[in-house]
Structures are given as C-alpha cells and as structure tokens.
C-alpha cells in the first residue's frame, strides 16, 4: 500500500514537471482564481467597515421640555435601555448641551454674546439613542411617541431624519445583499474557469488514461497521479497568489488609506496572512483535487 502511494506521488510529480507548459497554464489560472477570491474577501472586509461607520453615524435624539427634571429623563433612559433594539444611549444634560453649543460656535461671538444675555439656559436636555440595526429606529420612535411620554418630550428628530435613515438603511441592506451576490457570482465564475481548465488539461491525457487501462492498471493507480497534480495546482497556486498580493497590498495600502476607513489594509492582510494562506490552500486543494477526480472519472468509466 505504501509503495502504491509512493508511486502515485512519484508519477504525479513527474507528470507535473514533464507537462511543463500545461502545468504552468493551469497553475496560472488557479493562481488567478485564488487571487480573485482573496481580493473579494478583502473587499468584503472594507465594505463592512464602511457600512459599520455609516451605521455608527446614525442616531436619533429625543429632546425634553425645559422644565423636565433630570430624574424623569433618566427614568425614560432606563425604560429605553430595556428595549431590545437599543444599542446605547447617551444622556446630554442641559449644561452639556450648552458646553457643546459654545464649543461649536466659538467662532461666532455675536451668537455667544446673545446667549450670555439670556438668564436661562435655552438648550434642552436630550438622549442620543443608537439602535443595533438601522431598520430598528422606526420602532424605537414608535415607543417614544406613546402617550406616556408626550408630556415631557418636546421632539424626536426621527421625523426630520426619517428619509435619510430609511435611505441609508436601504443602501446598507442593498450593498450587503449585492456584495454577497456579486462575491458568490464571481467566486462561481472563477471556480468554473479553473474546473474547466483542469478538465481540459486532463482531456489531453485521455488517450494516456486509456492506455493505462489497457496495460491492466487499476483505477486508483490511474487516478492517483492526476489527483496529485490537481492538489499541486492548488498548493502552488496558493503560494503564487499570496506572493503576488503581498507586494501589491504593500504598495497600494498607503495610497488607499486616504479615502478608505481602514487605516492600514496591508497591516490587516499581514495580520491575517496565515489565515488567508490556509483558507486559500484549502480552496485550492479541494478545487484542484475535485476537478481532477471528476475529469478522470469520465475516462475511467468508458
């Protein structure tokens, strides 16, 4: 048995080497496939970060009437925190609001002066609410509109921002769904290209397979070397694609960091290099092995 494995391995390596051009072509296609997959994965990571940033920018604010006591507001806060949809709530007291207002308008002395002339703080205390999902703001708003709070709440800015939130919500869902479909579609295309490239490579060996059968070789002994070749395509393809991507990310990363929310794409790639390696290796080996196995099967059945 061990001798059999040794021989299969030997012929697989020899065939790979002797079919030089064919092997090079197939490895190139395999490398391209794995390259596309890596880039797709990276794009998904970047897209997710962008979406997350966008989602983080959305919140709704509840403004309380000037005579509302802090205890009442905190009670509302407690109630809100019990809601499943709520991710976090920040309380901005009247004083905080004033500090923020002054900070924001520090270049406008007239405005600040007129504010100083007032006896009371005209700014309302508020609660900033962030939902877990963009789609949940509607139901949080509904909760706030219930009669119980009508007396103390001045306004909820959801109605003003409703259109923006809904639009953004749609964009987020669309981009997520579209990204997934596009990723799957592209992955499928590159899979099929590699699968067929390997089938073509083995098609050129169909006569050889037939000869092996005629000299009395068992099916596993015929198939084995082709499987070894298929797996080799995957292994070498993985190494080649990572060797290509490493310098590409290295040089591209500083140029991209300006307009992408990820500071350091190369750093991310480097941190996850081992994970990428094993993932691509698994994809390459399974794709190469399966394609070979499948392609040879056709000629063994005749």
Point out which residues pair with 156 in neighbouring strands: 62
Among 3, 67, 84, 107, contact with another protein (rule: CB under 8 A): 3
Report whether 226 contacts 300 (CB < 8 A).
no
Can residue 19 be called a binding residue for another protein (CB under 8 A)?
yes
Among residues 132 and 218, whose Cβ is nearest to another protein? 218
Check the CA dihedral 146-148-150-152 and report its sign.
Answer: negative
Query: Residues in contact with another protein, total (CB under 8 A)?
Result: 20
- The burial class, CB within 10 Å (0-12 / 13-18 / 19+), for 25 is middle
The residue range among 48-56, 93-101, 188-196, 208-216 that interacts with another protein, by the rule CB under 8 A, is: 208-216
Provide the minimum distance between the beta carbon of 178 and another protein in the complex, in angstroms, as a whole number. Answer: 47
Coil, strand, or helix at residue 59?
coil
Cα-Cα-Cα-Cα torsion 188, 194, 200, 204, nearest 10 degrees, comes to -160
Among 45, 193, 217, 239, contact with another protein (rule: CB under 8 A): 217
Coil, strand, or helix at residue 199?
helix
Report whether 215 contacts 264 (CB < 8 A).
no
Provide the minimum distance between the beta carbon of 180 and another protein in the complex, in angstroms, as a whole number. Answer: 44
Q: Which two tokens stand for residue 248?
A: 């590409």
Can residue 21 be called a binding residue for another protein (CB under 8 A)?
no
Provide the minimum distance between the beta carbon of 228 and another protein in the complex, in angstroms, as a whole number. Answer: 14
Among 101, 143, 221, 290, contact with another protein (rule: CB under 8 A): 221
Binding site for another protein (CB under 8 A): 3-4, 7, 11, 14-15, 18-19, 207-208, 210-218, 221
């Amino acid at each position: 048995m061990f001798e059999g494995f040794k021989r299969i391995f030997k012929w697989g390596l020899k065939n790979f080497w002797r079919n030089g051009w064919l092997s090079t072509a197939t490895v190139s296609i395999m490398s391209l496939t794995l390259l596309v997959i890596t880039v797709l994965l990276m794009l998904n990571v970047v897209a997710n970060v962008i979406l997350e940033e966008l989602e983080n920018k959305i919140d709704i604010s509840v403004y309380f009437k000037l005579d509302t006591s802090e205890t009442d507001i905190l009670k509302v806060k407690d109630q809100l925190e019990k809601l499943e949809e709520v991710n976090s709530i920040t309380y901005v007291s009247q004083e905080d609001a004033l500090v923020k207002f002054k900070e924001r308008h520090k270049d406008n002395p007239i405005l600040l002066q007129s504010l100083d002339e007032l006896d009371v703080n005209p700014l309302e205390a508020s609660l900033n609410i962030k939902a877990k999902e963009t789609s949940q703001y509607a139901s949080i708003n509904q909760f706030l509109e219930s009669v119980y709070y009508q007396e103390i709440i001045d306004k909820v800015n959801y109605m003003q921002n409703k259109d923006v939130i809904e639009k953004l919500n749609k964009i987020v869902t669309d981009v997520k769904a579209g990204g997934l479909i596009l990723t799957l579609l592209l992955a499928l295309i590159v899979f099929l290209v590699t699968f067929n490239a390997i089938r073509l490579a083995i098609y050129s060996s169909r006569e050889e397979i037939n000869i092996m059968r005629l000299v009395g070789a068992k099916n596993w002994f015929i198939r084995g070397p082709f499987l070894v070749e298929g797996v080799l395509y995957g292994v070498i393809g993985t190494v080649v694609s990572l060797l290509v991507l490493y310098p590409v990310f290295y040089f591209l990363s500083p140029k991209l960091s300006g307009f992408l929310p990820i500071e350091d794409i190369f750093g991310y790639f480097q941190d996850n290099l081992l994970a990428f390696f094993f993932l691509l290796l698994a994809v390459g080996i399974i794709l190469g092995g399966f394609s070979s196995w499948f392609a040879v099967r056709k000629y063994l059945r005749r």
